[in-house]
Homo-oligomer: A and B are copies of this chain.
Amino acid sequence: MDKKSEKHNKAMQKQKERVSATMAKATQDQSVVVLLTGNGKGKTSSAFGMAIRALGYGQQVAIIQFIKGVQKSGEELFFLEHLKDVPLYQMGTGFTWDTQDRDGDMAAAKITWDHAKNALSNPKYDLVILDELTYMLSYQYLDEQSVVDVIIARPSHQNVVITGRGGGSRLREIADTVSEIKEIKHAYNQGIMAKKGIDF
């Protein structure tokens, strides 16, 4: 074995020990709340990737989308074609900067939250995705404390994935895993149009 391989194998042995030590400590089998936040690309797509992951194991998934354009997205088209049985509820009013109608948006947010509450109290669901929920809190369309209370009181085996910029300190507190997706660069800012299958 050459020196490079020997050095690599030793480094990997150390990494294995680190991984094993972390695994040995992670013994609590409990559901989690995952918050995907930050200004970078990848929050909604990651939530849908987790939906696919859960569905792969035969888990039951419910998806509630709070802010969405009026046009159908690629993921929505996919679910309509392949996964008709998976409930996918969308607020469907369009982006709030397009509607410019706070009262109308707020009413729509409350109806959408009712759908989320139903999923979050139904033990049938193993995973509930609350896509772009954070904006409902930052715009004060929904009351933060009520939202947090419902998430905490969910069935004990149910995982929750929340996406959206910001998110507020209470959501970060109750989340077990928080990833902040930072935009290092975005094609959009270099004059490249948003792409089907990538951006929407």
Indicate with 1 or 0, residue by residue over A76-102, a CB within 8 angstroms of chain B CB atoms: 111101110000000000011111111
* B53 near A52: Cβ-Cβ < 8 Å: no
* A185 near B180: Cβ-Cβ < 8 Å: no
* A16 near B97: Cβ-Cβ < 8 Å: yes
From A40, which residue of chain B is reached at the shortest CB distance? B179
* A195 near B32: Cβ-Cβ < 8 Å: yes
* B74 near A197: Cβ-Cβ < 8 Å: no
Min distance, Cβ A30 to any Cβ of chain B, angstroms: 6
Surface stretch bound by B, among A54-62, A114-122, A146-154? A54-62
Q: Which of B48, B179, B191, B197 contacts A181 (CB 8 A)?
A: B179
Indicate with 1 or 0, residue by residue over A1-37, a CB within 8 angstroms of chain B CB atoms: 1001100110011011001001001111111101010
Q: Which of B5, B57, B184 contacts A180 (CB 8 A)?
A: B184
Q: Give the number of times this chain occurs in the complex, counting copies.
A: 2
Chain B contacts for A78, CB-based, 8 A: 52-53, 55-56
Q: Is A65 an interface residue (CB 8 A)?
A: no
From A194, which residue of chain B is reached at the shortest CB distance? B26
Min distance, Cβ A20 to any Cβ of chain B, angstroms: 9
* B185 near A41: Cβ-Cβ < 8 Å: no
- Assuming A159-B198, A176-B187, what are 8 further A-B pairs, CB within 8 angstroms? A12-B102, A16-B100, A26-B191, A41-B179, A56-B74, A176-B192, A178-B184, A179-B182
